[in-house]
């Protein structure tokens, strides 16, 4: 008891000094509580009050996050090195805020979710909690915070998938997602417990973490690190931890699928960067044998993800399953930027994630609108839709061109940046892994043309046997999709606005 009393003032001091840097997250916590109370006292199917409060809270949180940017040049560690606030983390947090706002707008514009018997207030309530978890993943600098933040996002995701359950397929998707996520979480936690036993610290920024880990047999340390990567890989859905992704994407409501393919995936990359940071620092400052060969392991994962994701997508007819497999392919490409381990690689990764999140969200918005109005979920049934929904389908084609990486769109610039960083890395190191990544990335980019362009092929060049009796009505989602499409064009022509 006396020992606890002696350290209590120091703990209180650390908490009070860290609170000003935690202001965006405090806003989200307050928003979460206020939204719960609002939905309790002002219930209703449309939940307009909770919707407005959620958007307001997220915008205020993003505003405080922007204010942190100038003061975090060198990074600030708070709460006993549990969280690290730096510019990379802040950019990720702003990306998460944008994705969650788009997700809220998507829910608001989705008739199926708005008219569901459960109402939509509880789903709005989850958004501040989801954003809080995503932000913590971007800032986590200790193994404990990595685990807690991933679990926070996972629990919210499980609830989102199963919330508007109206069929066996969705119930199966929710169960599969929760069970597979629980197994991966347990494996990751076991790996973290091993790392703590080896090093005696949970902080990734503690110098003793790498010093003591280097004293362990390399094979033993590798096992613990791989177990942790299992939990991170679940969020990224890279091969061989991708099996849940197509089934869950297909079974979940389409706004939830859009969120899962963007927010948690981006947060997974943020956690991976944080986890690899001490290993990169140690390898740059010492001439000894590295503790773990991230380049080899991640290269195998990236190559496998690009091959499996892109080739499997060719055979998909369901729109959501096709986008799920293409997402796996994009994960492999983004991993290539992380493997480069340079400032150019990180910039390329952030630019590509911005493009990818906007394009994916817009693609799901258009696919969701078509599904609502016509009941079409298969790509082969898109025949003739170019005449029925000309604006939406033109936007869809531009979005798919950007995801493919065709000029002059943002996706093209994103791939140019990633390839440039990888080529520069190969020139400096002559690494066979980097050469293999470049070859596979180039080949799978060509392969992606075959499945992305099935949509415009059917929509504009093939005639449908059915006569669509559909009243074309442009709603908010149509115009949001148009704005996102214009952003892809703008950032493709003038990438310097983001870089």
Q: pLDDT for 387-441, tens place per residue? A: 888 888 999 999 999 999 998 899 999 999 999 999 999 998 888 999 999 999 9
Query: What average pLDDT does the chain have?
Result: 87
Check residue 140 and report its DSSP letter. B
Q: What count of other Cβ atoms lies within 10 Å of the Cβ of residue 467?
A: 7
Q: What is the C-alpha to C-alpha distance for residues 304 and 337, in angstroms, rounded to an integer? A: 15
SS3 of residue 264 by DSSP: helix
SS3 of residue 409 by DSSP: coil
- 467 pLDDT more than 90: no
Q: What is the pLDDT of residues 362-388, one digit of tens each?
A: 999 999 888 888 888 889 888 888 888
| Strands 76-78, 83-85: pairing kind | antiparallel
Q: What is the pLDDT of residues 11-24, one digit of tens each?
A: 777 777 778 888 99
The pTM (predicted TM-score) of the whole model is 0.92
Give yes or no for a contact between 150 and 271, defined as CB atoms under 8 angstroms apart: yes
Q: What is the pLDDT of residues 78-117, one digit of tens each?
A: 888 888 888 899 999 999 999 999 999 998 888 777 777 7
Q: What is the C-alpha to C-alpha distance for residues 415 and 403, in angstroms, rounded to an integer? A: 10
- 125 pLDDT more than 60: yes
Q: What is the C-alpha to C-alpha distance for residues 414 and 410, in angstroms, rounded to an integer? A: 6
The residues pairing with 142 across neighbouring beta strands, listed in sequence order, are: 203
Residues 6+ apart with CB under 8 A from 497: 490, 491
What is the secondary structure of 305-350 as a DSSP string? HHHHHHHHHHT--BHHHHHHHHHHHHHHHHHHHHHH-SHHHHHHHH
Query: Band of the pLDDT at 262, cuts 50, 70, 90?
Result: very high
Strand positions, DSSP E, 388-436: none
Q: What is the pLDDT of residues 137-186, one digit of tens each?
A: 999 999 999 999 999 999 999 888 887 766 677 778 888 888 989 999 99
């Amino acid at each position: 008891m006396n020992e606890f009393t002696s350290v209590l003032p120091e703990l209180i001091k650390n908490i009070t000094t860290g609170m000003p840097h935690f202001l965006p997250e405090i806003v989200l916590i307050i928003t979460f509580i206020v939204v719960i109370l609002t939905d309790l006292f002002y219930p209703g199917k449309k939940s307009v009050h909770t919707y407005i409060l959620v958007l307001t809270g997220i915008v205020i949180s993003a505003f405080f996050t922007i204010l942190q940017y100038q003061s975090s040049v060198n990074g600030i560690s708070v709460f006993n090195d549990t969280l690290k606030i730096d510019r990379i983390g802040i950019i990720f947090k702003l990306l998460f805020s944008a994705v969650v706002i788009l997700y809220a707008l998507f829910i608001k514009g989705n008739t199926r979710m708005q008219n569901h018997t459960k109402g939509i207030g509880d789903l709005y309530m989850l958004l501040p909690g989801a954003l809080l978890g995503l932000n913590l993943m971007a800032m986590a600098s200790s193994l404990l915070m990595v685990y807690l933040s991933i679990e926070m996002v996972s629990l919210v995701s499980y609830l989102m998938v199963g919330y508007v359950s109206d069929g066996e397929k969705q119930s199966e998707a929710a169960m599969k997602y929760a069970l597979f996520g629980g197994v991966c979480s347990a494996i990751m936690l076991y790996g973290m417990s091993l790392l703590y036993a080896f090093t005696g610290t949970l902080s990734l920024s503690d110098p003793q973490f790498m010093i003591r880990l280097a004293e362990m047999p390399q094979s033993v340390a590798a096992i613990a690190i791989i177990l942790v990567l299992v939990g991170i890989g679940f969020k990224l859905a890279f091969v061989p931890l991708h099996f849940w992704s197509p089934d869950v994407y297909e079974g979940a409501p389409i706004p939830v699928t859009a969120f899962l393919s963007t927010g948690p995936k981006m947060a997974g990359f943020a956690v991976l960067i944080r986890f690899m940071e001490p290993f990169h620092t140690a390898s740059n400052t010492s001439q000894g044998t590295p503790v773990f060969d991230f380049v080899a392991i991640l290269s195998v994962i990236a190559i496998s993800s690009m091959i499996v994701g892109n080739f499997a997508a060719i055979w998909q007819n369901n729109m959501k399953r096709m986008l799920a497999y293409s997402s796996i392919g994009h994960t492999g490409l983004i991993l290539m930027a992380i493997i480069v381990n340079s400032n150019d690689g990180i910039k390329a990764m952030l630019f590509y994630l911005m493009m990818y999140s906007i394009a994916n969200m817009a693609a799901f918005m258009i696919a969701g609108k078509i599904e609502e109005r016509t009941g079409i979920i298969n790509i082969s049934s898109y025949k003739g839709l170019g005449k029925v929904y000309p604006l939406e389908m033109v936007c869809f084609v531009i979005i798919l061109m950007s995801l493919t990486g065709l000029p002059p769109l943002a996706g093209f610039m994103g791939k140019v940046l990633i390839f440039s960083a990888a080529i520069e890395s190969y020139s400096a190191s002559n690494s066979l892994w980097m050469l293999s990544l470049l070859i596979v990335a180039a080949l799978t980019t060509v392969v992606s043309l075959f499945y992305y362009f099935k949509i415009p092929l059917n929509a504009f060049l093939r005639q449908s046997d059915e006569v669509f009796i559909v009243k074309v009505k442009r709603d908010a989602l149509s115009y949001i999709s148009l704005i996102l499409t214009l952003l892809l064009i703008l950032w493709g022509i003038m990438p310097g606005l983001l870089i």
